[in-house]
Homo-oligomer: A and B are copies of this chain.
Amino acid sequence: MAEVTLIKAINDALATEMARDPSVCVLGEDVGRGGGVFRATEGLLRRFGPDRVIDTPLNEVGIVGMAIGMAMNGLRPVAEIEFSDFIYPAFDQIVSEMAKMRYRSAGQFTAAVVLRAPSGGGIRGGHYHSQSPEAYYIHTAGLVVVMPSTPSDAKGLLASAIRGEDPVIFLEPKALYRTVKGEVPQGEYLVPIGKGRIVRPGDDLTMITWGGMVPVAEKAAAAAAAEGVDVEIIDPRTLWPLDIGMIEASVNRTGRAVVLHEAPRTCGFGAEVAALIQERCFLHMKAPVARVTGFDTPFPYALEKSYLPDPERTLRAIHASMAF
């Protein structure tokens, strides 16, 4: 197995699934000749041709709506939205159509589209190239929301999303595209939807985090370990439906939980995780579930570093929880 970047793993998943199943197509802005602004679709046009690697006009309603129609008529479209910040023109197509097609037709029609979008901060991108929108989609019944944090998970989860029968919002932590490397199995490889990953086992406190915050959690946990605090890190990978069993078991054991995410705090996914934990683990809790998150402001440009949770802020939350 080769060590590859996360973006290469995405590219690998796309190529592998397209080679396996001729109904898999990719579409979006600049995905063909351009190879994708992050190069996720590089080489696919040459290999699979313009019928399956579709450069679209600049319109997200068209991209998502067309993908829905393709899915209804036997294809398996993987649509790329250039940045998750630019998905909103298609929000109606996502929440009113993609998410509800199976339900409203009682299963006669489905919209098993995979919508890939680079997400999160870390590239000095300001307001519109940095946001973390997962909560909007988790709140929308009918959507599966996935966010990998390692190359192998990226490959395996994307392949599972493509083969699945549900619409998937597949958020890719762009900060990690080229900064993490890892071994990725060659050829067909699947990671199941709905199963979390224990990034680091630990006994004293459970930290739930995902995407670009996983390396931050690891640093904070290492620092805590040096102080004798043993943090368990859980990356749910599939944000919804959440692997609640893994979290519950951990928190029942540790009695302490911190949720760490980039998105603004209020009504972020951290709120849901906190609500679930206190509902399910109430009698085991030694401290309130803490949230370390982006602030409730638009994503700033100059102060990005202060906006994004870092190992120090995370460590302070660990301290506060341990000292509660």
Contact = CB atoms under 8 A, between A and B. Distances in A.
Query: Which of A128, A269, A288 counts the most B-chain CB atoms under 10 A from its CB?
Result: A288
Contacts of A104: 127, 298
Contact of A139 (B135, B285, B298): B135
A92 interface: yes
A295 B139 CA distance: 11
Contacts of A103: 127, 297-298
Size category of the binding interface on chain A = 35 or more
Contacts of A322: none
A18 to B, nearest CB: 30
Interface string A84-107: 010011011001100110011000
A178 to B, nearest CB: 27
Interface of A: 61, 85, 88-89, 91-92, 95-96, 99-100, 103-104, 127-128, 135-136, 138-139, 141-142, 240, 263-264, 266-272, 274-275, 278-279, 282, 285, 287-291, 295-298, 324
Given A91-B91, A139-B139, A279-B289, 17 more contacts: A88-B91, A91-B92, A100-B127, A100-B298, A136-B136, A136-B139, A138-B266, A139-B268, A141-B297, A240-B266, A266-B272, A271-B274, A271-B275, A274-B275, A275-B278, A278-B278, A282-B324
